[in-house]
Chains A and B, each alone.
Chain A
């Protein structure tokens, strides 16, 4: 019906049958359309169903009601066209950085069956990718020899090595210090600018969402719904300097206002 890359039509999800019969939904009535190559961010208070939304998009969870299409296909199970990264880098400590990045290629087809015959080629690709995020020379190091920011860079490389059409990031920079975080914003911006995959970024950092995304969705908590959709019309390419302009601050303020209003009106509902 639409040419959207990600298409949610009135999606509801209850985590199990008991909650379903009680009418307790983790997310309610979610509809959204994402263009090919669009960078969207989802912000909202913790526990509002942002991570649930991610699981729906990747096919790890199926909706109780409604339908989800990604890239024209109905989502019925794990999509192999997406890569994921979380707040914890969750790299495997017994593998080098390079081998960690190569892990998806050992699992996802068609790379899996070619892994041994094309290993040198894949390694070169992983090394290039690591280089592009500033990890040149760290390929043979183990994750615990890297700093938190470097581990997170490697984790994003792992999510991108199989050239997914969609990158899902669940508060990927949440555990980093402010300077490292801003550095990684730029890393992600550059990767996206170059490769133009779709990004769904879940975050609670409003500045992060405004700086990076084309469109920001604000989610409310219990019920988990999208309450605001805000297009970010800041010009690209965006530089970190833009975060100090009035235009940027206004958008952040506006989003903050929505969340503040929601929290005030939302509190009595929680009982």
Chain B
């Protein structure tokens, strides 16, 4: 096995090693499964409750995707506005930073009052937590245009719009895909947190109900499922990023 293959398989090797160690510790010290279930126990529970888990996972998945889709639309539009106008940048950015510093979990009770228990708060929490990185990255991509390049085009009589469309947007695409990878994982966090208090369905709800019933194996199973979904989506955007903006990743491609 050469070094390249080792690099490729390293995440799986690390995961297997961690699981083995975990299992070993649980067995050796005979840790109660009500306190800290072993991987085998979690696996058993995942299989036993697969139908229930799948239903909750599907709910969490599409709610997250809805919030994330909203975040892309709003993040791109806002990022475009504040990245293309110095005035908008100066006006909006400080407020947005302050807003981003607020814990999004704190919005859940308010959203419940407005939208009731259910998908409303979950979608909106996923949206609120994930639009910020998208907006910032689009804005950064647009605002850090090389002045020489802008001059080259402006000498030709290019309008601001031309410069944005021909140069600014393509240039910010790698930033955009980079932000999607961050945002999708955040969106899962948002949905799960919201479902824990404001839903009767979804992995967040499953975690709370399993926890209160002392079904620790099932609760851990829920965590595993959220983590797996976020990882799959991350890899998906990573793949899209590599294949649409190869020019920005040339060093990794050339070797």
Q: Does B248 contact A (CB under 8 A)?
A: yes
Number of interface residues of B (CB under 8 A): 21
Known: A94-B245, A107-B162, A144-B250. A88 touches B148 (CB 8 A): yes
Q: Determine if A107 and B157 form an interchain contact, defined as CB atoms under 8 angstroms apart.
A: yes
- CB contacts (< 8 Å) of A94 on chain B: these are 170-171, 173, 245, 247-248
- CB contacts (< 8 Å) of B173 on chain A: these are 94
Q: How far is the CA of A84 from the CA of B146 in the complex (A)?
A: 14
- In the complex, what's the smallest C-beta–C-beta distance from B248 to chain A, in angstroms? 7
Report A90-118 CB contacts with B as 1/0, cut-off 8 Å: 10111000000001101111000000000
Q: Does B6 contact A (CB under 8 A)?
A: no
Known: A94-B245, A106-B166, A109-B157. A88 touches B152 (CB 8 A): no
Q: Determine if A158 and B155 form an interchain contact, defined as CB atoms under 8 angstroms apart.
A: no
Q: Determine if A103 and B166 form an interchain contact, defined as CB atoms under 8 angstroms apart.
A: yes
Q: Determine if A142 and B148 form an interchain contact, defined as CB atoms under 8 angstroms apart.
A: no
Give how many A-B residue pairs fall within 8 Å (CB-CB). Answer: 65
Q: Does B95 contact A (CB under 8 A)?
A: no
Q: Does B44 contact A (CB under 8 A)?
A: no
Q: How far is the CA of A103 from the CA of B146 in the complex (A)?
A: 16
Interface size class of A (residues with CB under 8 A): 20 to 34
Q: Determine if A162 and B152 form an interchain contact, defined as CB atoms under 8 angstroms apart.
A: no
- CB contacts (< 8 Å) of B153 on chain A: these are 103-104, 107
Taking a contact as CB atoms closer than 8 A, the residue among A79, A103, A106, A144 that contacts B155 in the complex is A79
Q: How far is the CA of A55 from the CA of B150 in the complex (A)?
A: 12
Q: Does B151 contact A (CB under 8 A)?
A: yes
- CB contacts (< 8 Å) of A84 on chain B: these are 151-152, 155
Q: Does B158 contact A (CB under 8 A)?
A: yes
Q: How far is the CA of A158 from the CA of B149 in the complex (A)?
A: 12
Q: How far is the CA of A208 from the CA of B68 in the complex (A)?
A: 56
- CB contacts (< 8 Å) of B102 on chain A: these are none
B-side interface residues toward A, CB under 8 Å?
146, 148-149, 151-158, 162, 166-167, 170-171, 173, 245, 247-248, 250
- 7 more contacts with CB within 8 A, not counting A94-B248, A107-B157, are A83-B155, A90-B148, A92-B170, A103-B153, A104-B153, A107-B162, A109-B157
Provide a sorted-by-A list of 19 A–B residue pairs whose CB atoms are within 8 angstroms: A55-B151, A78-B157, A80-B155, A80-B156, A84-B151, A84-B155, A86-B148, A86-B152, A88-B148, A90-B146, A92-B167, A92-B170, A93-B247, A94-B248, A104-B153, A107-B158, A107-B162, A142-B247, A168-B155
